[in-house]
Amino acid sequence: MPVVVVANPKGGVGKSTLATQLAGYMASQGHAVMLGDTDKQQSSRLWLSLRPDEARPIATWDVSPDLIVKPPKGSTHVVLDTPGGLHGWRFNDVMRMATKLIVPLQAGLFDMYATRDFLAELADKKKLSELDVAIVGMRVQPRTIAADKLREFVDGLGLPVLGYLRDTQNYVHLAARGLTLFDVAPGRVTRDLEQWQGICQWVDA
């Protein structure tokens, strides 16, 4: 069973946005999706509570910040949202379950160096060859110095970059209604869906 973990030691880099959108994509493909949230802020759980009944179902995974358990029976795909500063035995439990890891990353000095340290810790605890790991650039403004610096940084990581998602209010407005790009008419979010193609293909592989 695919278990996609969204993790980065920094807070505010877009983990919950990425996790909820991933769950929405999987649901749009007809999968029985569970969305777990080990962050004390419970942003993904809040988003699920806003999801309308007529939307494709995404089940809640009742996971506390202090206990990582196996996903319930009946699910075929799992997305797990994680807190900033994930480390220690919680880190080990999450990574033991993961089949794929997506690391969201913003174009900021502290974000980039924290991510590099996180990947180094991951390499120490579990060889990267045992886990599919990829990067997604978040809130990227194209044709800016910050965007160029981000691309230069991720090129040096030696990991696949699935895409760079633009900074748009589409994610904010959809999240407020418990929805994703994959729940609305494609014509309304064409540009954003194009940026998701690489992510979707990697998740499905």
How far is it, in rounded angstroms, from Cα 102 to Cα 177? 24
pLDDT score, position 66:
56
Q: Would the pLDDT of 127 be above 60?
A: no
Choose the most confident range, by mean pLDDT, from 1-15, 90-104, 112-126, 162-176. 162-176
Token pair in block for residue 197: 């193609």
pLDDT score, position 105:
93
How far is it, in rounded angstroms, from Cα 196 to Cα 181? 9
Q: Would the pLDDT of 64 be above 60?
A: no
The upper half-sphere exposure of residue 102, i.e. CA atoms within 13 Å in the direction of its Cβ, equals 32
Its domain, for residue 37, covers: 3-204
Whole-prediction pTM: 0.90
pLDDT score, position 70:
63
Could you give the maximum distance between any two Cα atoms of the chain, in Å? 47
Q: Would the pLDDT of 89 be above 70?
A: no
136 SS3 class: strand
pLDDT score, position 21:
97
Of the pLDDT bands very low, low, confident and very high (cuts 50, 70, 90), residue 60 is confident
42 SS3 class: coil
Where would I find the H helices in 83-133?
Answer: 88-97, 109-125
CATH number of 160's domain: 3.40.50.300
Of the pLDDT bands very low, low, confident and very high (cuts 50, 70, 90), residue 69 is low
Q: Would the pLDDT of 20 be above 90?
A: yes
5 SS3 class: strand
pLDDT score, position 170:
97
Q: Phi and psi (nearest 5°) for 82? A: -125, 160
Provide CB contacts within 8 A for 116, sequence distance 6+.
157
Which is it for strands 59-61 and 33-37: parallel, antiparallel or unpaired? parallel
Token pair in block for residue 157: 């990581």
Whether 87 contacts 118, CB under 8 Å: no
Q: Would the pLDDT of 142 be above 60?
A: yes
Q: How many domains does the chain have?
A: 1
Neighbours of 115 (CB within 10 A): 24
Q: Would the pLDDT of 90 be above 80?
A: no
Mean pLDDT of the 86-103 span: 79
How far is it, in rounded angstroms, from Cα 18 to Cα 22? 6
Average pLDDT of the chain, as a whole number: 87
